[in-house]
Structure 1
Amino acid sequence: MTQNIAVIAANGKSGQLIVREAVDRGLDVTAVVRGENKTVAQHAIIKDLFDLTAADLAGFDVVVDAFGAWTPETFPQHSTSLKHLADVLSSADARLIVVGGAGSLYVNPEHTVQLSQTDGFPEAFLPLATAMGDSLAELRERSDVRWTYVSPAADFQADGPRTGKYVLAGEEFTANEAGESAISYADYAIAIVDEATAAPENAHINERISVRW
């Protein structure tokens, strides 16, 4: 049973909600932040992600990576940050759960076409989706880390409601009966903590999963 969880980039919008969800469920939560801890976590590590060591993350059952890079010059950090965390957690017992993107979800059963490669995908989001997709592809090559990559729905709503419900899916893009693919950050946080606390037989180790309403 998961007891100790670290949330990296905990001051971000998704990070803060994941911390709150975990604390509300009685978990012992450590926020990993570069500056002042703005979360409700019981503990904090004040350190840049790229400076984290194996000793910093020792003793955690789960490490949640909520890091994001949102400008073209920092997009490569999706790969470099994930590689650093994977190296730090190499051969450790701790699970690494990654807050991912939707653009790399597949739209065909053969898994040859991703959402970001389809007509109508917003051009403005393509560089970010490509960078996040590349980081997932690199993570798939790691067998020395117990990782899980969690893609949100296409419409990832920062201020959406907390309904307490979501649909768990896999590698392929899915939508509801109305053709909508959406999830709030709050309900996504529920899914992250559900995965973090899942029994071993139900955990999605070395898999990508996705969530939507």
Structure 2
Amino acid sequence: MKIAVVCANGKAGKLIVKEAVSRGHEVTAIVRGENQTDAQNVLIKDLFDLTAEDLHGFDVVIDAFGAWTPESLPQHSTSLKHLCDALSGSSARLIVVGGAGSLYVNPEHTLRVMDGDDFPAEFKPLAAAQGKALEELRERSDVRWTFISPAGDFQAEGKRTGAYILAGEELRLNDAGESVISYADYAIAMVDEAERTDDAHIQQRISVVRR
């Protein structure tokens, strides 16, 4: 399988590349500067400069874009729109590294994690930006997208356990009552999803938590 990882030099991107390469996939890291990943191929180009031609021929495009500063948060929406426009009508899958703040906490899907009184105020702008990007993505019927939310406690330096629970739109706790997953286990889930041969999660948001 031919996989492109956009913004591959980030913490999540590097581990996704590593996981995909370890399984024998042909991976292209799309980065703005010097490649820091295990990818066999490299395209040095800014996300916003990518064209349909750049992304042609890939089976899966993984969007590992991240932004955290107030001035860059709107790019969660604009970067995703740019990728969707480039992939419009393509058979390639677009799998997006999402956030947990937009997960629902009730069956009616009217309350989100970020709406809770105990949600840290410093993370609300990021959660809101990622949630907005997801809502805009839901309007795209011309792209074979899947948005994967991690658990609430997304641990960059967490261990690779190899075990996770696949869930849906609602925040899922494991048997220990935790909402936690490491970047390494998230990378496993991401590549598992890339390898799916059915359309079960096309144009859907799913989520993962450590088993």
The one-character-per-residue Cα deviations of 1:57-97 (angstroms, maximum 9, x if unpaired) are 00000000000001011000000000000000000010000
Matched, 1:181 2:188: no
2:204 to 194, 203, 207: 207
Cα distance, 1:177 vs structure 2: 2.8
Give the whole-Å Cα distance in 1 for the aligned partners of 2:209 and 2:70: 27
1:168 to 163, 166, 169: 166
Q: TM-score, normalised by structure 1?
A: 0.97
Give the whole-Å Cα distance in 1 for the aligned partners of 2:38 and 2:139: 35
Give the whole-Å Cα distance in 1 for the aligned partners of 2:65 and 2:76: 8
Matched, 1:127 2:134: no
Match of 2:196 in 1: 198
2:156 to 147, 155, 158: 158
Structure 2 residue matching 1:80: 3-state secondary structure: helix
Q: How does 1:1-213 map to 2 (within 5 A)?
A: 3-201=1-199, 203-213=200-210
Alignment coverage as a number of residue pairs? 210
- 1:208 counterpart letter in structure 2: R
Give the whole-Å Cα distance in 1 for the aligned partners of 2:18 and 2:85: 27
Cα distance, 1:178 vs structure 2: 3.0
- 1:22 counterpart letter in structure 2: A
- 1:211 counterpart letter in structure 2: V
Give the whole-Å Cα distance in 2 for the aligned partners of 1:43 and 1:25: 16
Give the whole-Å Cα distance in 2 for the aligned partners of 1:31 and 1:149: 20
Give the whole-Å Cα distance in 1 for the aligned partners of 2:23 and 2:136: 32
Structure 1 segments unaligned to the other structure (5+ residues): none
Give the whole-Å Cα distance in 2 for the aligned partners of 1:122 and 1:178: 22
Supply the RMSD in Å over aligned alpha carbons. Answer: 0.7
**Which of structure 1's runs of 4+ aligned residues deviate more than 6 A?**
none
Give the whole-Å Cα distance in 1 for the aligned partners of 2:122 and 2:176: 25
Cα distance, 1:158 vs structure 2: 0.2
Structure 2 segments unaligned to the other structure (5+ residues): none
Give the whole-Å Cα distance in 1 for the aligned partners of 2:18 and 2:66: 19
Cα distance, 1:195 vs structure 2: 0.2
Give the whole-Å Cα distance in 1 for the aligned partners of 2:30 and 2:85: 17
The one-character-per-residue Cα deviations of 1:18-76 (angstroms, maximum 9, x if unpaired) are 00000000000000000111100000110000000000000000000000001011000
Cα distance, 1:180 vs structure 2: 1.0
Cα distance, 1:176 vs structure 2: 1.8
Q: Once structures 1 and 2 are overlaid, which stretch shifts more, 103-112 or 174-183?
A: 174-183
Give the whole-Å Cα distance in 2 for the aligned partners of 1:123 and 1:180: 21
Give the whole-Å Cα distance in 1 for the aligned partners of 2:76 and 2:84: 12
